Amino acid sequence: MKQVPLAAKIRNTRGSSRTRRLRSSGFIPAEVYGHKETNQSIEVAEKDLGKILSSLKGENIFFSLNIEGAKGEPVLAVIKEVQYHKVNNSLLHADFHKVKMNEKIRIKIPIRIQNGDICEGVKIGGVLQAFMRTLEVQCLPTIIPDSIQVDAAHLNIGDAIHVSDLKMPEGVKALQAASNVVVSVAAQMAEEVKAEVVAAPVEGAPAAAGAEPEVLTAKKKEEGAAADGKAPAGKAAAAPAGKADAKAAPAKTDKK
């Protein structure tokens, strides 16, 4: 992995109001931790860190932190977490983890799926589904792979590649469950079939194969009752308009 220099300063300020002022001046708070040492609070220029992160495209790099006001050599670290603003996507906070070349570290590696568009299942109408974009691994910093390559060319509909199927470089251990699915090919759902079932059938035409029959029991009972001159069950028979009006009119009384 390549090393990228990043200037930083020791941060002594605390509190939300001071942090807001720090961000308004173009800097963001950050923490450096690792190796059972006390965390070191620093501040870095948002513009500088943002430019580096936007150019990575999923890659992992070593940061060489030149901390102004700190003793010793630049701190070699990897970035572990970055917080962004929910609305404008600006950087809010960053966490760095110190690295020693002779000690193993845990780090997430991007997964690159190859030949997904030409795999056997996709050729016959299947859909490629990626369930994992990164894989957490443990290894020495000197052998961290740039990515994990996954060849999907042989996958047919119903097939899947699990973490246990991945070919890991020597000295690199996958930390996620072996049964986790990385990528699979599923059969495509035909939305058109559903639309055909909902469509009204033509009277007298035979029912379409596989279509669910229309429930007509209640309708037939009502039609039969109407033919016999009886009202359907649960419904009162409508009275003739004239009689209904007569019943509705109030009785007249003679005034004496």
Domains defined for the chain, CATH in brackets: 3-99 (2.40.240.10), 106-186 (2.170.120.20)
- Residue 235 confidence class, pLDDT cut points 50, 70, 90: very low
End-to-end CA distance of the chain: 114
- Which residue is listed with tokens 């639309």? 195
Helical residues (DSSP H) of the chain, grouped into ranges: 16-24, 46-56, 120-123, 191-198, 217-227, 241-248
pLDDT at 255 over 50: no
Choose between 90 and 233: higher pLDDT. Answer: 90
Q: Does the pLDDT of residue 204 top 80, yes or no? A: no
Q: Are 119 and 130 in contact (CB under 8 A)?
A: no
* pTM for this entry: 0.64
Torsion of CA 201, 205, 210, 212, to 10 degrees: 40
Q: Which residues contact 208 (CB under 8 A, 6 or more apart)?
A: 196, 197, 201
13-16-21 Cα angle (round to 5): 70
Least reliable range by pLDDT among 1-5, 12-16, 206-210, 223-227 = 206-210
Write the DSSP assignment of 129-188 as a string of letters: EE--SEEEEEE-GGG--S-EEEE-TT--TT-EEEGGG--PPTT-EE-S-TT-EEEEEEPP
- Work out the average pLDDT over 220-239: 46
- Look at residues 185, 57, 189, 188 and name the one whose alpha carbon lies nearest to residue 131: 185
Tokens coding 115:
């030949």
C-alpha angle 222/228/231, rounded to 5°? 50
- The average pLDDT across 187-199 equals 56
The stretch 60-72 carries a mean pLDDT of: 87
Lowest mean pLDDT among 95-104, 161-170, 220-229: 220-229
CB 188 within 8 A of CB 121: no
Q: Which of 52, 62, 51, 32 is nearest to 146 (CA)?
A: 62
Q: What are phi and psi of 83, to 5 degrees?
A: -105, 135
- b (16+ CB within 10 A) / e for 115-148: ebeebbbbeeebebeeebeebebebebeebbeeb
